[in-house]
Amino acid sequence: MEEKQMEVVPGLAGIPAAESAVSYVDGEKGILEYRGISIETLAEKSTFLEVAYLLLFGKLPAESEYKKFKDDITYHTRLKVKILRMMELLPENGHPMEYLQSVVAAMGMYYPAKDVMNEETRYWSAVRLIAKMPTIVATCERLKSGDAPIQPNNNLSFAANFYYMLFEKVPDALTEKILDAMLILHADHTMNASTFSARVVGSTLADPYTVISSAIGTLSGPLHGGANEEVVHMLKEIGAKENARPSIERMIEKHEKIMGVGHRVYKTKDPRAKCLQSFAHKLFQNTTGKGKILEIAEEVEKVVNDKLASKKLYPNIDFYSGIVLQEIGIPTELFTPIFAMGRVAGWLSHWLEQLKTNKIYRPDQKYTGLHNQEYVPMSERR
């Protein structure tokens, strides 16, 4: 049998999977824009909820639009008691990403959203998902630590409320700004693995909770969202600035991957890594001795520049996000869920975009298996 002649591109690298107007990356120049606005400007001037609106609806909201969107989100931050009970029954050693994926999938049973072509259904699903994900993440952390969940405080900003639900205290202004910027910086990133996942599942007209739950599962892998946890583990293992060079050189010799380094698209330093590095400096500027992890990271970056620039490998967003989150007291296991709390805005925007001109994803394959094989009875098999 003759097979079709076709070339398989591993990882679909460089193959456009959709037309999109949500975000733009120039990997050579290190540019990232959401709806045409630079990520640096948004991280400095905007808020996560404004950015979520921008991504979802394609424009910055007018004051009244922003107020309505913010009020709608704020009103939906609570979890149903039955969802809380379900979370209490999940294993304590489960990863928060597993909790998040399961609970988001279960939300689809409480908020039916099968009619995905209905504009109201789409709007309220997006609102509920953005509103409830921080509550799910904070509740998961409280339950895993044996503490009672804390109800959302709707007088606080979106980012401050998340911190409050974790620690039962209001964050200082810098911590609040950093958490909010962290969500902005993670909110979208063109056709990455989890966004592709969201678009593929969305293309089947599955409901938005299924779409987002699939995307969360895709993000959980260590080559995607999980890398920021690995960076902190690696920096802790290196332990001191002077160990950075020999440790990294050894890893490179052994062809081990340095976590938080390299990117399919960026062939220069990730602009989000630059923003987070500058937040890290603000955070550490008043702390003596505690900036050790930042010093180690910056030394690792120097070695990576010396040794891997020829391969165009530079720090990505995960390289500095873990350091910053750790310093503001966020447990390591929550790094990727926080990524998801921001990225849900992008996933939903891509889902909405997909539905506008939907065609179910059904790629081809290059068959490399056998044909015309005999069915051998089990007793004769070896």
257 binds ligand ACO (CB under 6 A): yes
Q: Per CB under 6 A, does 258 bind ligand ACO?
A: yes
Given 309, 311, 366, 367, the residue binding ligand ACO (CB under 6 A): 311
To which residue do tokens 């993000």 refer? 219
From the CA atom positions of the chain, what is the Rg in Å? 22
Mark 312-351 with x for binding to ligand ACO (rule: CB under 6 A) and - for no binding. Answer: -x--xxx---------------------------------
255 catalytic residue (yes or no): no
**What end-to-end distance do the CA atoms of the chain give, in Å?**
27
Q: Which is nearer to ligand ACO, 131 or 251 (CB)?
A: 251
**Per CB under 6 A, 260 contacts ligand ACO:** yes
Q: Across-strand partners of 24?
A: 33
Shortest distance in whole angstroms from residue 233 CB to ligand ACO: 12
SS3 261: strand
Nearest to 151 by CA among 69, 86, 84, 106: 84
Task: Name the residue nearer to ligand ACO (CB basis): 6 or 13.
Answer: 13
Residue 58, token pair as written in the block: 């394609």
Q: Does 223 interact with ligand ACO (rule: CB under 6 A)?
A: yes
DSSP reduced 3-state for 37? strand
Find, among 87, 333, 104, the residue nearest to 225 by Cα: 333
Asked if 48 contacts 184 with a C-beta cutoff of 8 angstroms, the reply is: yes
- The enclosing H or E element of 34 equals strand 31-34
Can 95 be counted among the known catalytic residues?
no
Binder among 95, 224, 241, 245 for ligand ACO (CB under 6 A): 224
With binding defined as CB under 6 A, does residue 262 bind ligand ACO? yes
Residue 331 CB contacts under 8 Å (≥ 6 apart), including other chains:
141
Q: Which of 259, 275, 297, 341 binds ligand ACO (CB under 6 A)?
A: 259
Based on CB atoms, which residue is closest to ligand ACO, 21 or 223? 223
Catalytic residue, chosen from 207, 263, 270, 350, is 263
The kind and range of the H/E element at 38 are strand 37-38
Residue 307 is a binding residue for ligand ACO (CB under 6 A): no
Residues near ligand ACO (CB under 6 A): 11, 223-224, 227, 257-264, 311, 313, 316-318
**Which residues are part of the catalytic machinery?**
263, 318
